[in-house]
């Protein structure tokens, strides 16, 4: 199996040559977009070194892979949020639980701000204009959603969506919902670190590695060569 670094090197030039765009076919397109930074951001309270937010944006493999390569992110865990039903992958995949495949992002706000994480989320992690789908995956479990852990997070996220829509950054309106996190349920162990462990998987190579390559190209100051993995020693 090729290493992630090698595989990213192979696809990086192709992604850049295509204007950082990648597609899944007509009517099911995702593309990296240069979204401007938020005009409203969070100032961490003195002594605060850890904050969490839960982000949903399609299959959690790729979203996790993106945030595991971001400086200041200390943990990015795949799981389920937003519903009240069973929390196993097979049941969530039926679309009947109300849950969305999500990533719990734990970060140091002194290194990377909430606003910057949201900029990455809207720019490269997924297409926030796709309703109840992402690329080739369809269903409410693949919806775009932000689950906040504070009123301040909710205010910043809503203001950012209004800013993006007002500037008409995308051709279509952002459909991302914002609401408080009730609970986050970690996904099964085999889903964790999936993009890193399976770079030769056809879905990963086609749908997710281009997102990670776009992160490196668009946010080089935040890029981590070695991803912060869930199953790494001490994490």
Task: For residue 99, give every residue at least 6 positions away whose Cβ sits within 8 Å of its Cβ, in sequence order, or none.
Answer: 80, 81, 82, 83, 85, 87, 92, 141, 185
List beta partners, residue 31: 21
Instruction: With CA atoms as reference, report the closest residue to 176 among 23, 16, 63.
Output: 63
For tokens 């203001």, name the residue.
159
CA distance 176 to 145: 5
CA distance 93 to 68: 24
Output DSSP code: residue 125.
Answer: I
Query: Catalytic positions, please?
Result: 59
CA distance 82 to 98: 6
DSSP 168-225: T-SSS----EEEE---EEEPPGGGTTHHHH-TTSHHIIIIIHHHHHHHHHH-GGGB-S
List beta partners, residue 179: 147
């Amino acid at each position: 199996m090729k290493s992630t670094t090698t595989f990213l090197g192979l696809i990086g030039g192709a992604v850049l040559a295509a204007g950082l765009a990648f597609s899944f076919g007509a009517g099911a397109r995702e593309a990296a977009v240069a979204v401007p930074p938020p005009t409203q951001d969070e100032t961490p309270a003195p002594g605060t070194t850890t904050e969490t937010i839960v982000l949903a944006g399609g299959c959690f493999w790729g979203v996790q892979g993106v945030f595991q390569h971001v400086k200041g992110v200390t943990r990015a865990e795949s799981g389920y949020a937003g519903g009240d039903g069973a929390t196993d992958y097979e049941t969530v995949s039926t679309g009947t639980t109300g849950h969305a495949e999500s990533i719990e992002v734990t970060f140091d706000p002194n290194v990377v701000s909430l606003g910057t994480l949201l900029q990455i989320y809207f720019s490269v992690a997924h297409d926030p204009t796709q309703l109840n789908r992402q690329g080739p995956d369809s269903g409410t479990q693949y919806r775009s959603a932000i689950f906040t852990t504070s009123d301040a997070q909710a205010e910043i996220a809503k203001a950012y969506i209004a800013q993006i829509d007002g500037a008409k950054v995308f051709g279509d309106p952002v459909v991302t919902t914002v609401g408080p996190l009730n609970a986050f349920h970690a996904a099964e162990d085999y889903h964790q670190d999936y993009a890193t462990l399976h770079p030769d998987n056809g879905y990963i190579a086609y749908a997710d590695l281009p997102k990670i390559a776009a992160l490196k190209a668009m946010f080089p100051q935040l890029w981590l060569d070695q991803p912060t993995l869930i199953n790494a020693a001490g994490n």
